[in-house]
Structure 1
Amino acid sequence: MTTLILLRHGRTTANTEGVLAGDSPVPLDEVGVVQAQAAGARLAGLPLRAVVTSPLERCKQTLTLALPGVNPAVEPGFTECGYGDWSGRKLSELSDEPQWRTVQLHPSAVVFPGGEALAAMASRAVTAVRRWNEIVAAENGPDATWLACSHGDVIKAIVADALGLHLDLFQRIHIAPGSLTVIRYTPDRPFLVRLSEDQSPLALPPAGTSSDAPVGGGAV
């Protein structure tokens, strides 16, 4: 059922300014450029059968730096959550909003004013993953690997789904800018292989479609 590598875009000027970027066209900052290039070094040599990106500029810029010469497919399902009226505002201001605690403790109930429900974001992101899993497997076989560049909350929602976690628990997951997260999908269950990896060279799991987990944890 394929292996998915999720790349979070590099750090942006909005991140450093403490602003919720939303769908604003914010660029990577100097650190974000280095993070994107470092992600590319960790991906070097991996047989990526498809590369997909959020429509937003910070993800496209990250892929241009990480995988120069690759022309990614644009997937709206991987775009940032629609934060509506919260977009462009300081996080320090938003933390005083009454809905902030709901975002922290009960995100499945959140609909951002003038924007999207977090549950709707999670649903369309997971739907996009499943659709691309089918496309990549049909064209390249079940052992194929593909990559999607997206955003922190989107990747957290995809990881939560892979782990069978309720969306209300997804705030327990942290995804660093420029990091790589790996999920191997099998007929019975997904396996979270790497989470927010941003240091060592990326090692993929052994090829295979078995849904069985090794008793005792296995050797790799």
Structure 2
Amino acid sequence: MDFFEKSLNDLKTERKIFHSEDDLKLSLALKLKENNPKLNIRLEKPIDIEMIDRSDKKSIVRAPIDMILIDENNHTYPIELKYKTKKLSTIYNGETFNLTKHGAADIGRFSFRKDIYRIEKYKTNNDNCPRGYVLIVTNDKSYFQDNVFDKNNLDKHFSFHDGFLINKIDSGWNYEKINQNKYSFTDKNIWVNQQLKIHWTYKKELFYKLDLQKDYRVKWNEYSKIENNEFKYCLIEI
């Protein structure tokens, strides 16, 4: 077990639930610092990464990495985190938690792959980066239970249910599921509706092509149980 996994396991015993992604991020950063006093930690550090869309157009995108750890040897460890919740109102250890329903799991699955892509790119562009991490904590069972690949959903290629192998080749959105009574395929190789509005998967970052450097096997682990809610986490080491 490396230093990051140890701090995550320690956090599990102290914080069973978080108010938000920022709450998770700060709590994990504090635990990492407590366990590794020589670490320097940067939150939301912006970096430039070359992105490629599905029309092969390249662009330099400036966006923050959630957390970057810097050890005494100036090695860096980039981390992307996600905290995806379904609605939950509860009192735990005398503290009230009101979690919102994030929904949009299809975009959440795409974003998880994008996080892996971005950490790979960071690692490639930084010789002093031994490894990085992508972490998601959620009480939304659709992420760890739903096999949207077998269901042939629009986001089937972005599934990361337990045991799934994330293929390094990005097959993109499953346009076989497009409702062709509402959308038609144009000579510009895009789907548009009857008002000539482009399908939402062609917009901005959802149109990125996210080919990875390797395949990744997905494993979900228990994080905590709050009343009838089960929180699980998936940690990908890059």
User: TM-score, normalised on structure 1?
Assistant: 0.37
Relative contact order higher in (CA < 8 Å, ≥ 6 apart): 1
Larger Rg: 2
The structure carrying a bigger helix percent of its residues is 1
User: TM-score, normalised on structure 2?
Assistant: 0.35
The structure carrying a bigger strand percent of its residues is 2
